Structure 1
Amino acid sequence: MKKIFLFLVVLNLVWSCENKVEKVDHAFYYWKSDGYSFLQSENDAVKKVGLEKLYVKYFEVDHSAEMGNFPVSKTNISVYPYSDSDKILSEVVPTVYIKNIVFKKSSEKDLDKLADDVNFLINKYSLEKFDSVKTSEIQIDCDWTASTKDKYFYFLKKLKPISQKEISCTLRLYPYKYPDKMGVPPVDKVMLMCYNLINPLENDNKNSILDINELKSYLNTDKKYPLHLDVALPLYSWMQVYQNNQFTGVLYNSNEVKPLLKQIKPLWFEVQKDTVINYETYLRKGDKIKCEEITASKIDEAIKLIKTKVKLDKEINVALFHLDENQFKNYTNEEIKHFYSDFTQ
């Protein structure tokens, strides 16, 4: 019995050494579609945390019976020219969110055209907005299902030779845990999305952005995923607004709202007086607000769990979602640095 126990201890130590992360590239997602100049707003902040890679949502792809597949929500981000000594970004990764309906409604011929169109637009935006920054990878974001995986995977295979770039895609936790059912995408690597674990409108007593017990249930698998895994974690918090018990929208800047609220149960608050937020959202006394906040301690807890449960390579990207000056204010620079360095500890 003692020999068996000793063997298991040694085996665990060997496994730990083999799966220890040695290098982490510091990355962020940028997911806005409105007008924005990266260097004007977050220049100083990203310098302090050592940002190396930015995953930028270039556009989304939607589908309608009248128009077929078409791009929407195009980004207006711009990076102004700078000298090499002032360079703060090593790489931009063009990221495209494609709605699952696209693969439900498209034929292989449609997807051949889609791959050409996506590649054309990515090259166009890269030249216009990031001409001086390396763009050697394309990332596709899609909530594919078992019924659409074949067409989605077909599209990914087509995009690779057309773009002549490294192709990655996002990986939600369900397909991570059940690759036999959901398939393994034909890409060079995947980004494990460790947030948005629960439908925000279906569970009123859990934090839908990041619930540690929910995360643990998906990571509780002994199988090593057959592709290189990078990791994405959330920085953002939000408030869900309910008027007459009906969901009406989301607020991201909570500092203006919090003084008006009274807590009525865990996660839930009630508006105490009428007010207007951002000149567009009218809150009435009695409205209910579900506050889903992400703190540094919650992210630290998630990182500890990921390191224990997920078999990672020695070099990985860790991407924080997302680059926004209002969300930055909720963390110190040291806390953000630790979200990267903790993976190597």
Structure 2
Amino acid sequence: MLLFLAGCGEAPPTAPPQYAFYHWETRLDPHPGRVAEYGADRLYIKVFDVSWTDGRAEPSALLEVTDSLKMAAVPVVFITNEVFTHSGPDLAARIAGLIEQRFPFPFGEVQIDCDWTAGTREAYFAFLRRLGELLPDKQVSCTVRLHQYRDRDAQGIPPVDRAVLMAYNTGDLGSWETENSIVDTVVIGRYTAGQPPYPLPLDLAVAVYDWAAVYRQGALAYLINEPDLTELADSSRFAALAPLRYRVDRSTYFAGLYLYRNDLIRREVADRRGALRLAASLWPQIANRGSERVIFYRIGSRQWRD
């Protein structure tokens, strides 16, 4: 259970947070046992991505649904920031229409996930306002990164009904020297400590997953989601340099990728116990009277089995 401190913030929440999960796989697998174990009340399900491709905002990784769902669901759309350096006025209509087409469950909220910047803020916020106009009977929510949470004057407050603070992907993924780019509690504290309550109802998202970052000649080359640990233990191909760090000693295929001798691999882990601890410490700092949920990213990770 999360721990709470009374009297924190100007407008503390009146009840403990409800748990929820992000579902990020293309094929819907709701993992009902895990949902029941953690008492989650809903899934935030990615329906598709949107990126700038061949001079146009194009959807990809569209959700495939083969099962029914016996709990509340929220469609989520991930949009790259680059889209808002080019996007036209029809983007909101296209996305609203595609959500209605691809998401087969009843929903009362739509969430947009985009790491906007000061340079794209105007276009992104205009998109959010238009999306709300097109879906007048739905709530519109969006994600807020740590830098957007802290640097509110420069980044702005998005014109939505509620937001969720993403307390992960905090480190420099491009640097081999980084300890863990998924979650670093010291870095998170630099963004959250001493901040006034966010002016929107704010939920909290924490990470539960692992991946491996592959570096070649000092630069990030690949990300491998939940790598095969049995293969990494093969000393004829990989040398263990330190906990969670490896060197490729013999050029080889790994996770469908061809890796060269002297490539470096750093495995990064955000486990469930750490996520629960982080949520317990952050909730009293960031929650306001409209806060409702701690959302775990993501439900399909093998880290829930450990």
| Match in the other structure for 2:139 | 166
2 CA distance for matches of 1:186 and 1:194? Answer: 21
- The percentage of aligned residue pairs carrying the same residue is 28
Spell out, residue by residue over 1:59-112, the C-alpha distance to the aligned partner (whole angstroms, 9 max, x if none): 122224x542222221224323xxxxxx642x1111111111221113xxx22x
| Match in the other structure for 1:126 | 103
| Match in the other structure for 1:305 | 281
SS for the counterpart of 2:59 is strand
Q: Please tell me whether the aligned partners of residues 205 and 267 of structure 1 are also in contact (alpha carbons under 8 angstroms).
A: no
1 CA distance for matches of 2:162 and 2:176? Answer: 32
Q: Please tell me whether the aligned partners of residues 93 and 139 of structure 1 are also in contact (alpha carbons under 8 angstroms).
A: yes
Residue 60 of structure 1 pairs with residue 53 of structure 2: no
Give 5+ residue unaligned stretches, structure 2: none
Aligned residues: 297
Give 5+ residue unaligned stretches, structure 1: 1-11, 81-86, 331-345
Aligned to 2:179, which of 200, 206, 209? Answer: 206
Aligned to 2:77, which of 96, 105, 113? Answer: 96
Residue 253 of structure 1 pairs with residue 216 of structure 2: no
Change (3 A) 1:14 1:209: closer
Q: Please tell me whether the aligned partners of residues 23 and 314 of structure 1 are also in contact (alpha carbons under 8 angstroms).
A: no
Change (3 A) 1:144 1:307: same
After TM superposition, the structure 1 = structure 2 runs for residues 61-80 of structure 1, keeping only pairs within 5 Å, are 61-64=50-53, 66-80=54-68
| Match in the other structure for 2:24 | 31
| Match in the other structure for 2:15 | 22
Aligned to 2:40, which of 35, 43, 51? Answer: 51
Residue 140 of structure 1 pairs with residue 140 of structure 2: no
Change (3 A) 1:149 1:264: same
Change (3 A) 1:74 1:13: closer
Q: CA deviation at 1:226?
A: 0.4
1 CA distance for matches of 2:230 and 2:259? Answer: 12
| Match in the other structure for 1:319 | 295
Q: CA deviation at 1:254?
A: 4.2
After TM superposition, the structure 1 = structure 2 runs for residues 80-91 of structure 1, keeping only pairs within 5 Å, are 80=68, 88-89=70-71, 91=72
Choose 291-300 or 148-157, whichever is displaced more: 291-300
Change (3 A) 1:326 1:274: farther
Q: CA deviation at 1:114?
A: 1.1
2 CA distance for matches of 1:18 and 1:182? Answer: 23
CA RMSD of superposed structures (Å): 2.6
| Match in the other structure for 1:8 | none
Greater percentage in helix: 1
| Match in the other structure for 2:246 | 269
Q: CA deviation at 1:29?
A: 0.9
Q: Which amino acid aligns with 2:107?
A: T
Aligned to 1:151, which of 123, 127, 148? Answer: 123
Q: Please tell me whether the aligned partners of residues 239 and 254 of structure 1 are also in contact (alpha carbons under 8 angstroms).
A: no
TM-score w.r.t. length of structure 1: 0.77
TM-score w.r.t. length of structure 2: 0.86
Q: Which amino acid aligns with 1:92?
A: A
Change (3 A) 1:149 1:315: closer
Spell out, residue by residue over 1:164-205, the C-alpha distance to the aligned partner (whole angstroms, 9 max, x if none): 210000000001001111100000000100000123113623
After TM superposition, the structure 1 = structure 2 runs for residues 189-204 of structure 1, keeping only pairs within 5 Å, are 189-202=162-175, 204=177
1 CA distance for matches of 2:251 and 2:124? Answer: 47
Q: CA deviation at 1:125?
A: 1.2
